[in-house]
């Protein structure tokens, strides 16, 4: 039996209460300065406030001195106001950490999330599979204890000889992305109201996060071992990339807010499903049907995860249409960053175009039609239909504006995409080298 998550029931500070609001901002400014990556405007206001402050989730209190407002100019206050406003939750009083808006979940919305434990248990949890029903990496790899291990490895190596370098780069990029799983679990555990507070919470949210992670762990594990056995790629360079990526983290701009977090994961799981699905189809085209099957299995896991996260969003649209609509629009404005956007092999940027390895990986993924801008727009369109966004009744002006924005977005993006494609067609292909494939040239 899962227990309900316990939280403090503290009242939400009024967003319009200037004294309290400014006090919080002073505290944010301190943190931003300490992190050395403060948002514009936050640095200029050195706080001198004292008083007990409670953030919207009621989860923390902050100390600051009273009367510091006297030393703040109107411009200081306005700059801070702009810096800390959450587009997704304009009624929240978020904090600013390292220049990013954080903890924008309001008390009311926290209550909504906490009221969804039964829903999670009854409707969503089933999208995870029990371990005994899951495939494991060993099911798709030569058994090292078997007599025919060496000939099976030899077969694998012969099959993968037919995989071109641009294909290998995409497969490695997919694998590196999966291998940065510690980052994604950390991210989930920054989300207010759903995070696993103890590491072994007996709540449906805590269990979801851990078991989702455990399922995902098989993806990088299998792809990594397959690529290792193939002998086609520079494993050391790949391992360096993974270590750097986990060391760098990621920046999805989800504000510790589950509304934004679930919107991000709804999109991202579908994106990985599309990407692994296409990688599988391309493997078959290149003559490696076994690899095609591996990618298809991974894609089918992503499909379950996608359904689960989209179901959570559907419920949030039902319970809080305006709040969820603003979250949708906010994530779309910020754009969904790929989880591995900070990948770095330590070499790539020092040569060639100076692009990051992630930028060039994205280009190869697009050129091989594994994951393209059109896929990005298709996902938005799919989500709009999936949640019947056009028919949702928003009552606030902010909600209606957000709805209008997201509904028009696919057409707007397609127009931009067509223009970008025309420009690309006019340009010449450039040579890119990836250390992952021993610097063999690839043209994108």
Question: Which residues lie near Fe ion (CB under 5 A)?
Answer: 178, 216, 219, 269, 302, 305
275-303: string of b/e by CB count within 10 Å (b at 16+)? bbbbbbbbbeebebeebbebbbbbbebbb
Q: Which is nearer to Fe ion, 178 or 315 (CB)?
A: 178
CA gap 24, 14 in Å, rounded = 12
Q: Is 341 a catalytic residue?
A: no
Q: Which is nearer to Fe ion, 281 or 304 (CB)?
A: 304
Tell me how far, at minimum, the Cβ of 272 lies from Fe ion, in Å.
5
Q: Which is nearer to Fe ion, 179 or 302 (CB)?
A: 302
Tell me how far, at minimum, the Cβ of 78 lies from Fe ion, in Å.
41
Catalytic residue among 183, 194, 254, 272: 272
Q: Which is nearer to Fe ion, 382 or 405 (CB)?
A: 382
Cβ neighbours of residue 385 closer than 8 Å, sequence gap 6 or more: none
Tell me how far, at minimum, the Cβ of 207 lies from Fe ion, in Å.
17
Long-range contacts formed by 278-285: CB under 8 A, 24+ apart: 278/369, 278/370, 278/371, 279/170, 279/171, 279/174, 279/370, 282/167, 282/170, 282/368, 282/369, 282/370, 283/163, 283/167, 283/171
Tell me how far, at minimum, the Cβ of 308 lies from Fe ion, in Å.
10
Catalytic residue among 108, 111, 117, 135: 135
CA gap 45, 36 in Å, rounded = 14
CB atoms within 10 A of CB 169: 27
Tell me how far, at minimum, the Cβ of 177 lies from Fe ion, in Å.
8
Q: Which is nearer to Fe ion, 121 or 217 (CB)?
A: 217
Catalytic residue among 91, 166, 215, 302: 302
The sign one gets for the Cα dihedral 139, 142, 147, 152 is positive
Tell me how far, at minimum, the Cβ of 224 lies from Fe ion, in Å.
12
CA gap 108, 271 in Å, rounded = 31
Q: Which is nearer to Fe ion, 343 or 409 (CB)?
A: 343
Q: Is residue 302 within 8 Å of residue 272, measured between CB atoms?
A: yes
Q: Which tokens go with 288? A: 């490696």
Q: Is residue 267 within 8 Å of residue 375, measured between CB atoms?
A: no
Cβ neighbours of residue 146 closer than 8 Å, sequence gap 6 or more: 152
Tell me how far, at minimum, the Cβ of 331 lies from Fe ion, in Å.
17
Q: Which is nearer to Fe ion, 308 or 409 (CB)?
A: 308
Q: Which is nearer to Fe ion, 276 or 363 (CB)?
A: 276
Q: Is 390 a catalytic residue?
A: no
Catalytic residue among 87, 201, 255, 301: 301
Catalytic residue among 276, 305, 330, 387: 305
Which residue number has the CB closest to Fe ion?
A: 219
Tell me how far, at minimum, the Cβ of 88 lies from Fe ion, in Å.
23
Is residue 433 helix, strand or coil? strand
Cβ neighbours of residue 149 closer than 8 Å, sequence gap 6 or more: 142, 143
Query: Phi, psi at residue 6, to the nearest 5°?
Result: -95, 135
Tell me how far, at minimum, the Cβ of 268 lies from Fe ion, in Å.
7
Catalytic residue among 215, 269, 306, 360: 269
Q: Which is nearer to Fe ion, 302 or 315 (CB)?
A: 302
Q: Is 135 a catalytic residue?
A: yes
What single-letter DSSP state applies at residue 137?
A: G
Query: Phi, psi at residue 402, to the nearest 5°?
Result: -65, -40
Query: Phi, psi at residue 52, to the nearest 5°?
Result: -85, 125
Q: Is 301 a catalytic residue?
A: yes
Cβ neighbours of residue 45 closer than 8 Å, sequence gap 6 or more: 25, 26, 29, 72, 76, 77, 79, 80
Q: Hey, which residues are catalytic here?
A: 135, 178, 216, 219, 269, 272, 301-302, 305
């Amino acid at each position: 039996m899962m227990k309900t998550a316990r939280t403090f029931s503290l009242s939400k500070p009024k967003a319009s209460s200037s004294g309290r609001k400014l006090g919080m901002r002073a505290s944010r400014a301190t943190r931003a300065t300490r992190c050395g990556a403060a948002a514009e405007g936050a640095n200029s206001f050195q706080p001198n406030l004292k008083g007990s402050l409670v953030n919207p989730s009621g989860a923390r209190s902050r100390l600051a001195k009273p009367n510091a407002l006297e030393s703040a100019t109107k411009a200081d206050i306005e700059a801070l106001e702009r810096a800390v406003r959450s587009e997704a939750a304009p009624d929240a009083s978020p904090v600013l950490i390292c220049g990013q808006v954080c903890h924008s979940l309001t008390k009311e919305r926290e209550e909504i999330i906490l009221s969804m434990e039964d829903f999670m248990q009854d409707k969503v949890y089933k999208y995870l599979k029990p371990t005994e029903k899951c495939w494991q990496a060993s099911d798709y790899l030569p058994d090292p204890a078997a007599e025919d291990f060496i000939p099976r490895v030899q077969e694998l190596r012969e099959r993968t000889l037919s995989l071109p370098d641009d294909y290998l780069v995409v497969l490695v990029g997919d694998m590196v992305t999966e291998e940065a799983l510690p980052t994604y679990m950390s991210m989930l555990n920054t989300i207010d109201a759903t995070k696993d507070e103890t590491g072994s919470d007996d709540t449906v949210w805590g269990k979801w996060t851990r078991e989702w992670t455990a399922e995902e762990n098989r993806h990088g594990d299998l792809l990594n071992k397959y690529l290792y056995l193939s002998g086609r790629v520079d494993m050391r360079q790949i391992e360096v990339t993974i270590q750097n990526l986990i060391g760098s983290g990621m920046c999805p701009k989800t504000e510790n807010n589950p509304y934004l977090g679930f919107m991000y994961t709804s999109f991202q799981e579908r994106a990985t499903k599309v990407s692994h699905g296409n990688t599988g189809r391309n493997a078959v085209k290149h003559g490696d049907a076994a690899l095609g099957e591996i990618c298809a299995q991974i894609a089918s896991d992503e499909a379950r995860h996608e359904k689960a996260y989209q179901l959570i969003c559907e419920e949030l649209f039902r319970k809080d249409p305006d709040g969820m609509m603003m979250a949708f629009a906010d994530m779309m404005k910020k754009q969904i960053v790929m989880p591995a956007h900070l990948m770095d092999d330590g070499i790539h940027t020092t040569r060639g175009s100076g692009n990051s390895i992630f930028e060039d990986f994205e280009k190869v993924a697009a050129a091989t039609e594994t994951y393209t801008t059109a896929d990005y727009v298709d996902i938005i369109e799919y989500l709009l239909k999936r949640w019947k966004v056009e028919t949702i009744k928003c009552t606030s002006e902010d909600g209606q504006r957000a709805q209008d924005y997201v509904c028009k977005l696919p057409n707007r993006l397609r127009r931009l995409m067509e223009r970008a494609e025309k420009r690309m067609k006019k340009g010449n292909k450039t040579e890119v080298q990836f250390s992952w494939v021993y610097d063999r040239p690839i043209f994108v």
